[in-house]
Amino acid sequence: MGETVTVEDVVPLPESDPTGIGIGGLAFPLVFGGIVPVVAFRKIFPRSNGWYLTGLVTFSVVGGLVVACMLAFGFGSIEAGLWSGAFWSVAGSIALGIAALAIPLAGLQNAFGAKGFTIGAMVMMFLGNPLAGIAGSAAWLPSGLGAFGQILPPGAAGTLVRSAAYFSGSGGLTAALTLTTWVVVGLVLFVTGVRRAAVSSGEAVEVAG
């Protein structure tokens, strides 16, 4: 006779979302939300890097709020209260996750052109998305792959959102630092691309003169 195993939820899922499908399904929307604004705002502001970057940051913040509202009022994944529960921390986590995808992709685009953006987007879509482990946990992925997935923005964002939603932020520091690092690297690439373009433009003017 086998032994009976008792399972106790450390933090039970809310009754309104007993399967955790709301937060569990965030991987693709996060990746999609990081790619689309890079393409859209580059077309809207083709000559203004300042407005381009402002658009990406604004989209990240608004996107975080919209998704948090969907989780709270649509799926019931978090407490549906704007002034209580985990709403704002979840919104901030999602916003940081979107920014950690969008800004590095914009940086790659500025620094290396369309090829840089395409390669970055493919890595996030075809590696970051399936290795994020948001639907379950990175621990369920094959050894090494789960850890690699947590280095990429989708996986780190998923961990940070779960931490904010279920554990009051506990255990989310590493994920937050990972996402912040991606944002900083993206900004460095972005500025590098802007300076490189300015130098090239200056050289072109000198040649023309």
Domain membership of residue 205 (yes or no) is no
Residue-wise pLDDT tens digits, 52-105: 999 999 999 999 999 999 999 999 988 877 776 799 999 999 999 999 999 999
Domain membership of residue 203 (yes or no) is no
DSSP, res 13: P
Q: How far apart are CA 158 and CA 26, in angstroms?
A: 7
Domain membership of residue 3 (yes or no) is no
Residue 43 has φ and ψ, to the nearest 5°, of -75, -35
Q: How far apart are CA 118 and CA 106, in angstroms?
A: 11
Domain membership of residue 14 (yes or no) is no
Would you state the structure tokens that stand for residue 109, as one six-digit string?
């685009």
Would you state the structure tokens that stand for residue 93, as one six-digit string?
């986590």
Average pLDDT, the chain: 89
Would you state the structure tokens that stand for residue 8, as one six-digit string?
């106790």
Q: How far apart are CA 191 and CA 52, in angstroms?
A: 12
CB 27 within 8 A of CB 124: no
CB burial class (10 A; 0-12, 13-18, 19+) of residue 38? buried
Expressed as residue numbers, the domain containing 61 is 21-196
Domain membership of residue 57 (yes or no) is yes
Residue-wise pLDDT tens digits, 93-145: 999 999 999 999 999 999 999 999 999 999 999 999 999 888 777 777 887 88
Q: How far apart are CA 101 and CA 58, in angstroms?
A: 14
Task: State the total domains in the chain.
Answer: 1
Alpha-helix residue ranges (DSSP H) falling in 49-144: 49-69, 87-123
Residue-wise pLDDT tens digits, 11-52: 777 777 777 788 888 988 899 999 999 999 999 999 999 999
Model pTM? 0.90
